[in-house]
Structure 1
Amino acid sequence: MSTPSRRSQRERVEESSRRLAEAAIELIAEKGYSNTTAQEIGIRAGYSRAMVRERFGSKEALLEVILRDYEGRIDVPREPDTSGLQRALAPILALRDFAAEDPRLLRAVLSLNFEALHDHDVLRGRIRAWLVQLADGIRKAVVEGQADGSISDHRDADEVGSELMATGIGYAYAWILDPRTVDFEAVLTRWHDLVAARLTGSA
């Protein structure tokens, strides 16, 4: 019998990076960002105390990697061949797809976002900047949709963007609080359809 081939260096790096990221999210959700050390993250992930420093350089750098990956999956797309309506709705669909593909990781990252309420250092500023960026992307998409005719709702784009952000945060919080009673994918699908109908005037 042939023996399974050994994993490549790249595969080992990817696995260790993911395990460190998951351990960091879990610990921050349990203890808070400021109370979580790089050494604890390495141990929780099953590695040495120095693994975070060896792989990422610092706890802050690991956090940046985690948030960039999450934000890249949820952000408003910039493809020129999509309508303003499609771009405005894209974060809802991306969040739904994320929930379907990796609900455990998404709940952990969303919990990390809410942890920013109790953190006055790096985490709060980082999350605030991301939310501002996302809201601005939605606002611009609404303005573009009103200009290209894909959105017939002529309310102020800032109002629409703020409403979408607040609603999305509320749904996320309800899901994190009790995932057994909230079908997040179904909720996001219904919300997407409702927003699409309102923005196109078909509601």
Structure 2
Amino acid sequence: MTLRSHTPPTPQQARSELSTSRLLDAAMELIGEVGFERATLAAIGERAGYSPGLVTRRFGSKEGLLWTMIERMVVDWNSSVLGPAVGDSGGRPALHTMVTGIHASAVEAPARMRALYLLMFEALLPIPLLRERMAELHRGMRESVAACIARGVDDGTVDPAVDVPRAARLFVGALRGAAYQALLDGEVGVAAAIDDVHALIDPLLPSPS
């Protein structure tokens, strides 16, 4: 069998990836400070050390930047980190793994986590594209959580009387609410607030009687 050789990126590709990463990091930091609506492409480029023209060329528009940022913050992270960690597990272990993974992300990248949650809450404003994207992400998360709970029912570790969609809504709501309170009053950090959600999982998904 012939092994396919890995072609290293060209210097231009490496520079492009570096500038993209810096622009996205700058966007996350700025959105975490002032919100999506007040964050301008010019301010993002300046913070990253690049011209506004580069931001436009790279992402096309502010909405294009938003899609790329969410793709890296949520979609890529789900597929490369959280998804493999949860695997085919179900019920309480799966939800505990989710909380552990989100907690770790909040510890490792607090600016990214803050930006993501501010985007979620700002999506309540009349910003159609942002609202649509955030609603889609929440639907996807509820569906993933519901699938994990359903596997627990199927394998006999979760009481079949549990209302799966309702339990999924409550679990996602607990995560969002914990982060919101932490960002709002600052009494505890976001990571610590998310870690508290572990305590809700076992009562939410009781074992069969």
Could you report, residue by residue, the CA deviation over 1:77-127 in whole angstroms, capped at 9, with x for unpaired residues?
278953212433433222101011111221122112211112432101100
Is the 2:142–2:172 contact (alpha carbons within 8 Å) kept by the matching residues of 1?
A: yes
- Equivalent-residue separation in structure 1 for 2:42 and 2:133 (angstroms): 22
Name which of 177, 191, 196 aligns with 1:185.
Answer: 191
Q: 1:163 to 1:81 in 2, by over 3 A?
A: closer
Q: 1:84 aligns with which of 84, 90, 96?
A: 90
SS at the partner of 1:82?
coil
Pair 1:146 & 2:153 matched? yes
- Equivalent residue letter for 2:201: V
TM-score by length of 2: 0.77
5+ unaligned residues in a row in structure 2: which ranges? 1-10
Q: Aligned runs of 1:153-168 on 2, under 5 Å?
A: 154-168=161-175
With 161-170 and 82-91 compared, the bigger mean Cα shift is at: 82-91
Tell me, which stretches of 5 or more residues in structure 1 are unaligned? 1-7
Shift of residue 22, structure 1, vs aligned partner = 3.0
Contact 1:96-1:188 at 8 Å conserved across structures: yes
> In structure 2, what residue type is equivalent to 1:154?
A
C-alpha spacing 1:96/1:124, structure 2 compared with 1 (3 Å): same
Percent identity, aligned pairs only, is 30
- Establish whether residue 174 from structure 1 lines up as the match of residue 163 from structure 2: no
Q: CA RMSD in A?
A: 2.9
Cα displacement string for residues 153-190 of structure 1 (whole angstroms, at most 9, x for unaligned residues): 631101101111111111110121234x2143333334
Match of 1:15 among 18, 23, 29: 18
| CA-CA distance at 1:34 after TM superposition | 4.4
The 2-side partners of 1:146 and 1:65 are apart by 36
Partner of 1:55: 58
Where does 1:29-44 land on structure 2 (aligned, <5 Å)?
29=32, 32-44=35-47
Count of matched residue pairs:
195
Instruction: Indicate how the Cα distance of structure 1 residues 186 and 33 shifts in structure 2: closer, same or farther if over 3 A, else same.
Output: closer
* CA distance 1:190–1:55, shift in 2 (3 Å): same
User: Could you say if the C-alpha distance between residues 161 and 34 of structure 1 is closer, same or farther in structure 2, counting changes exceeding 3 Å?
Assistant: same
- DSSP-derived class of the 1:145 partner: helix
Give the aligned partner of residue 135 of structure 1. 142
Contact 1:151–1:199 (CA<8 Å) still a contact in 2? yes
User: Does 2:134 correspond to 1:124?
Assistant: no
Aligned to 2:5: none
